[in-house]
Structure 1
Amino acid sequence: MIIYGVGLLALCTLVGVIIGDALGVLLGVPSNVGGVGIAMILLIFIRLSLEKRGLLHVETEKGVVFWGMMYIPVVVAMAAQQNVVSAITSGHMAVLAAICTVVVCTLTIAGLSRYKKGTPLPKEEITMTGIGEKAHG
């Protein structure tokens, strides 16, 4: 069943790359525009949809989670490397935009973490059959 999770991730990646390439062509950019993000959002929506309908088996979800955790850091690192090279060769404005983005994101996260703390989520029991199943009793 884990292979189904891997297949679902591969399908989402393929669709994301196709849509990202099409967006690149439509926008006149000789690159994939947002393909990885589209793939991840598509994977999240499909996983939630299958889970809501009761069609997502625990083993399939493990495959999605495992490869999702492996996939995201690798792709982000590859994209970051390309963006840094482009930013350095493009001039000072790209570097300034990157620095401003980091500062704004840092301040936003700091502000949100201090903003109205609500009640904590209920504790979930970890069992051998699945992680995060609600405790009964």
Structure 2
Amino acid sequence: MVLYGVAALALCMLVGMIIGDLIGVLVGVDANVGGVGFAMIMLVLVSAWLRKKGLFPKPSEQGVLFWSALYIPIVIAMAATQNVAEAIDGGPMAILAGVSALVAGAALVPVISRIGEKSEPLPPMTEKEKQEV
């Protein structure tokens, strides 16, 4: 049964990489564009759907958890290294895209912080809580 979890992970990874390659071709880049991200999202959605339908037994779930703890972070690290190497070779456009994403993310911090209702502030820490910290 653990094998089924590993097979689900492998299938999601394969489909995600194909999608990433197709997006790369569509935008005219000779690289995989977001394949690992698509694979991870697909794995989350597929495993949640299978669990909801009762088709994902606990041992299969353990197979996915085992490999996600090992494999996915390694693949992401490899993809990040590849992206940095490509960005350095890409020149000013890659640097401009990175800086633009950074500026947009920083600009959205105040907007995101306003989402939700205002709440009461936390009560002051007791002496015992201060000592624990």
Same fold per TM (> 0.5)?
A: yes
Which one-letter code corresponds to 1:56 in the other structure? F
Corresponding residue for residue 13 of structure 2: 13
Change (3 A) 1:110 1:72: farther
Corresponding residue for residue 46 of structure 1: 46
Corresponding residue for residue 23 of structure 1: 23
Corresponding residue for residue 98 of structure 1: 98
Percent of residue pairs bearing the same amino acid type: 50
Separation in 2 of the partners of 1:100 and 1:11?
Answer: 34
Task: Note the alpha carbon deviations across 1:23-64, whole angstroms, 9 max, x for none.
Answer: 333333222222212211221121111111111112211211
Q: Structure 1: give runs of 5+ residues left out of the alignment.
A: 120-137
Separation in 2 of the partners of 1:62 and 1:118?
Answer: 40
Corresponding residue for residue 63 of structure 2: 63
CA shift, 1:95, in A, is: 2.1
Bigger radius of gyration: 2
Change (3 A) 1:99 1:68: same
Instruction: Tell me the C-alpha RMSD between the 2 structures.
Output: 2.7
Q: Structure 2: give runs of 5+ residues left out of the alignment.
A: 120-133
TM-score after normalising by structure 2: 0.70
Corresponding residue for residue 84 of structure 1: 84
Corresponding residue for residue 131 of structure 1: none
